[in-house]
Amino acid sequence: MHKLASTKKPALDISGIYPPITTPFNDREQVDYAKLDENLQKYSSIPFRGIVVQGSNGEYTYLSKEERLEVVHRVRQKLPKEKILMAGSGCESTQATIEMSRQMAEAGAEAVLVVTPCYYRGRMTSAALVHHYTQVADSSPVPVILYSVPGNTALDLPLDAVVTLAEHPNIIGIKDSGGDITRMGLIIHKTQHLAFQVLSGSAGFLLPGYAIGAVGGVCALANILGTQLCELERLCVGGQWQEARKLQYRLIEPNAAVTRRFGIPGLKQAMEWFGYHGGNCRSPLLPLTEQEQKDLRKVFSSYGWL
């Protein structure tokens, strides 16, 4: 079902489910590598295709360059060899993104996930973004995956830019978190002749994503309900849609709760309940209020997950 329509073989087959892992901090807001290791240890029993380090949920914008690289380095050491480490290397400037991509590859990333630069969004035209990604892909030692996340960047990587960039031999796919399933269908259709792979950027539309031809997903919710998301993948890939639908339904609101509704503080809080190390975020992200915690818990319990 989710096999590539294209006869071309991608440089790296990225089909599957990935948790975009969070970064655990200690009480002084320093990266807590021991806790990170323990989370990874727990994830190792789940049939993930790999791990995304420093997607939006990794609070990458709050990490220094050195921290970003160190985290990638540590994850690669702990991660089983057959699992893909996809590292978020996006920066606002092209030059910084190029350097970060190179260094992340050196630190062990199999692929880099490059978020759209967005601060000067009025000038982030298709031409500018194509130029940016082309330069990054030209020089990246590992394959590049585009990353469009309008919920954070307030910018959708334009469809025509995606289609143009899909031709680049070192750009192998996109993580699309916008949730516009029509757009996803069109991207898949227009890149069918290439070995371009589309990943759903959220658990909320994982089933529709598979139905329209996506090959996997990078889902915040996989930090908590990884086994279930891999099960949903299995059902979709195996064509068991009736069963898949039932499972998908139970994941929509929990997913919304740890993304749009309560953000990373919600995700980290829920991780604690599921046996992972979540903890606090770096400031200015505030921890949940007590009421928010109750509301969040209720979402998970009402669907039988807690």
Q: Output the smallest distance, CB 157 to its own copies, in A.
A: 12
From the candidates 175, 190, 268, 294, which is the catalytic residue?
Answer: 175
C-beta of 45: minimal distance to its own copies in Å?
28
124 binds its own copies (CB under 8 A): yes
Query: How does DSSP assign 255-306, residue by residue?
Result: HHIIIIITHHHHHHHHHHHTTS---PPPTTSPPPPHHHHHHHHHHHHHTT--
Give the binding-site size for its own copies (rule: CB under 8 A).
66
Query: How far is CA 11 from each of CA 117, 195, 225, rounded to the nearest angstrom?
Result: 25, 8, 29
Residue 284, CA distances (Å) to 27, 62, 149, 300 in order: 15, 9, 20, 26
Residue list 157-216, contact with its own copies (CB under 8 A): 179-182, 185-186, 188-189, 192, 202, 204-205, 207-208, 211-213
- Residue pair 126/145 in contact (Cβ under 8 Å)? The answer is no
Residue located via tokens 């639908």: 245
Q: Which is nearer to its own copies, 142 or 267 (CB)?
A: 267
Which residues pair with residue 18 across a beta bridge?
Answer: 218
Binding mask 277-296 for its own copies (x = CB under 8 A): -----xxxxx----------
Q: Which stretch binds its own copies (CB under 8 A): 138-146, 217-225, 227-235, 262-270?
A: 262-270
CB of 294 to its own copies, least distance (A): 17
Would you say 113 or 264 has its CB closer to its own copies? 264
Candidate residues 77, 95, 301, 302; the one interacting with its own copies per rule CB under 8 A = 95
Rounded to 5°, angle at Cα 38 from 32 and 69: 50
Q: Which 230-259 positions form the footprint of its own copies (CB under 8 A)?
A: 239, 241-242, 245, 248-250, 252-253, 256
Q: What is the 3-state secondary structure (H, E, C) of 196-262?
A: CEEEECCHHHHHHHHHHCCCEEECHHHHCCHHHHHHHHHHHHCCCHHHHHHHHHHHHHHHHHHHHHC
- Rounded to whole angstroms, the Cα distance separating 208 from 241 reads 10
Q: Considering only residues 22-51, where is the footprint of its own copies by CB under 8 A?
A: 29
Single out the residue of 38, 42, 135, 139 in contact with its own copies (rule: CB under 8 A).
135
Tell me the residue type at 67: E
Contact predicate 228/251, CB 8 Å: yes
What is the Cα–Cα distance from 180 to 212, expressed in whole angstroms? 12
CB of 284 to its own copies, least distance (A): 4
CA gyration radius, the chain = 18
| 190 counts as catalytic | no
Q: Which residues bind its own copies (CB under 8 A)?
A: 1, 29, 56, 61-62, 64, 92-96, 117, 119-125, 127-129, 131-132, 135, 151-154, 179-182, 185-186, 188-189, 192, 202, 204-205, 207-208, 211-213, 239, 241-242, 245, 248-250, 252-253, 256, 260, 262-265, 282-286
* Catalytic residue positions, numbered: 175
